[in-house]
Amino acid sequence: MARRGHTITTMNANTILLSLVGFVLSGLVAILVAYFSVWAFGVMVRPINYIDELKKKNVGMGILMASVLVANGLILKQVLFPFLSCIRSSMQQGLSTTEIAKVIGYGVGYIALAQCAAMGSLFVGMSLFARLTRGINELEEIRANNIAVAVTHGAVIIVIGLFLADGLSGLLAAFVPSPSFDSIRTFGK
């Protein structure tokens, strides 16, 4: 009986460790995604200096930036799950620290690729929408602090992000190795 309790305690410790690693990695990814999203936003709205606009309390620019952050977060949240699952599987399979570090390094590349794809897709979507609405220059209106245009354009960006999330996640999941299961026992067989 004591052995069974030991197994449960070991399983709980492993679960706690795996959860803690996932939590820390998720937090780090969130910070990096936010940072690179803001940087990429600056590239997307050139020649407008978004920092100067924010310092001038341009609410429209803040709404647009927030929309890009939310959309990118929605996309990358979907992409993060396969990465964390791969790390959990690697740890559960008893891989060495070096092998797990290799998996994490591979995952960092995966997340970087996802970040580039997400921001590129949002930029293309934002540009296409701007071309479709020929009667208005959205960025100039937002630069002039037109809140209505900022809210509308921001909502379009979030909708684009919602639609892209599953598609990009499925595409990039092909790059994440799936764990192999040598044998699976069901119902005690």
Distance between CA atoms of residues 39 and 42, nearest Å: 5
- The letter for the amino acid at 147 is I
Q: What is the pLDDT of residue 37?
A: 87
Distances (CA, A) of 30 to 5, 27, 69: 37, 5, 11
Q: What is the pLDDT of residues 26-52, one digit of tens each?
A: 888 889 888 988 998 888 888 888 899
- The letter for the amino acid at 64 is L
Q: What is the pLDDT of residues 114-157, one digit of tens each?
A: 888 888 988 898 889 888 988 898 888 999 999 999 999 999 99
Distance between CA atoms of residues 154 and 78, nearest Å: 20
Q: What is the pLDDT of residue 130?
A: 85
Q: What does the pLDDT average to over 160-185?
A: 70
Chain position carrying tokens 């978004």:
50
| Helical residues (DSSP H) of the chain, grouped into ranges | 2-44, 50-55, 59-92, 97-132, 138-143, 147-173
Chain position carrying tokens 């200096």:
49
Q: What is the pLDDT of residues 51-108, one digit of tens each?
A: 999 999 999 999 999 999 999 988 888 878 777 777 777 777 777 778 878 887 888 8
Q: Are 21 and 95 in contact (CB under 8 A)?
A: no
